Amino acid sequence: MKDIRIEKLAEILLDHSLELKAGENLVIRTQYNGKPLVDEVYKKAIQKGANAFVHVVFPEYNKYFAENASEEQLKNIYSLYGSAYEKCDAFLAIEAPDNVKNMSNVPSQKNMEYNKSLSPLMKKVMEKKWVVTNFPCNAFAQEAEMSLEEYEDFLFDAALVDYHKMDEDMNKVLEIFDKAETVRIVGRETDLTFSIKGRKGIKCSGQNNIPDGEVYYAPITDSANGYIYYEFPPMRYGVQVDGVRLQFKDGKIVSAKADKNEEFLNKMLDTDAGARYLGEFGIGLNYGIKKFIKNILFDEKIGGTIHLAAGNAYEGSGGDNKSLVHWDMIKELRDCGEIYADGRLVQKNGVYIFE
């Protein structure tokens, strides 16, 4: 029996996120486990009069290529994929891997070179209409410490929401931070201050991520001072870094400690000059997502948390920090935390205080 929730998810992706129209070209990138959602998306796209191209990725090939490709082969990635991706009007990525740690043993330098080679392609995609989602699979369920059925319920409950209402509700948060100059985050082993003066918040209500639910700002690059501890382990290339503690001075991460994989943490932060500065201050506002599941698509949206990204500032955010890295790290504030805007308490233990 077909799960009606898959059809509803396909409708949200095509109608709300991509606003797909007749005559437009849609590229769908997925792994094989995403086929049930691809089936629905593809059929609906054709029924709308759009053109659809499905790019099925085999992660084990990506791993082999990252480990073994020459410099010349890395350069040729764009020429291989560029034509289809350049001609698309809309891009949908459906993540549904067999193994979330497929790339974890690839040397970090190789991983960085591989991602650098893909960056022109991804930049081109982000100039289009685009959205990323996940589809339930055993790998995601295992990482979340759930059965597949439990994970299906978790994903669909988070994703199948009223994004128009979410968008309206975010305006209250924008009213707080759009007029603020300084933000102070206080919590467990944390007292960090930075500036967002003159920056306007960007609402994320289903345009590029499903599920969604955050507002984000680009901090002034040289403004962060203080220290922060992350209760939740940041992930990168399948590597989990536990107990991260960062110290900031004039915007720069001058000390990066971790209980596990500290060397990896610092290697990532030394990728380039911008990797040790903040590119994003994100505010989680999806209160339907309550549990950390080691999946950034969900975790950065947890209502009552915040996340700070080391590295690149998103286009259109007003930020000027540039880096090959954009690494979100999530701070728990729901049990022991406060946010101050220009000295006024605006969030306590995950609950916002509106005037």
Pair (201, 245) in one structural domain: yes
* Burial class of residue 237 in the structure, from the number of CB atoms within 10 Å of its CB (0-12 exposed, 13-18 middle, 19+ buried): buried
- Amino acid at the residue 209: N
**Looking at 160, 181, 207, which one is the last position of a domain?**
160
Pair (190, 140) in one structural domain: no
Which domain range does residue 26 map to?
A: 4-160
| pLDDT over 80 at 145, yes or no | yes
Pair (120, 232) in one structural domain: no
Domains of the chain: total: 2
Give the pLDDT score at 228: 98
Give the pLDDT score at 67: 87
Read off the pLDDT of residues 188-218 as tens digits, 9 standing for 90 and up: 999 999 999 999 999 999 999 999 999 999 9
Read off the pLDDT of residues 256-281 as tens digits, 9 standing for 90 and up: 999 999 999 999 999 999 999 999 99
Pair (292, 222) in one structural domain: yes
Pair (41, 72) in one structural domain: yes
More confident call, 200 vs 112:
200
Read off the pLDDT of residues 9-68 as tens digits, 9 standing for 90 and up: 999 999 999 999 999 999 999 999 999 999 999 999 999 999 999 999 888 888 898 888
Pair (42, 120) in one structural domain: yes
**Looking at 160, 179, 198, which one is the last position of a domain?**
160
Lowest mean pLDDT among 46-50, 172-176, 236-240, 320-324: 236-240
Give the pLDDT score at 195: 98
* Burial class of residue 291 in the structure, from the number of CB atoms within 10 Å of its CB (0-12 exposed, 13-18 middle, 19+ buried): exposed
Model confidence at 117, pLDDT cuts 50, 70, 90, reads: confident
Average pLDDT, rounded, for the chain: 93
Average pLDDT of the residues in 129-139: 96
Give the pLDDT score at 1: 65
**Looking at 134, 160, 186, which one is the last position of a domain?**
160
| pLDDT over 70 at 71, yes or no | yes
Give the pLDDT score at 172: 95
| pLDDT over 80 at 173, yes or no | yes
CATH number at residue 37: 3.40.1830.10
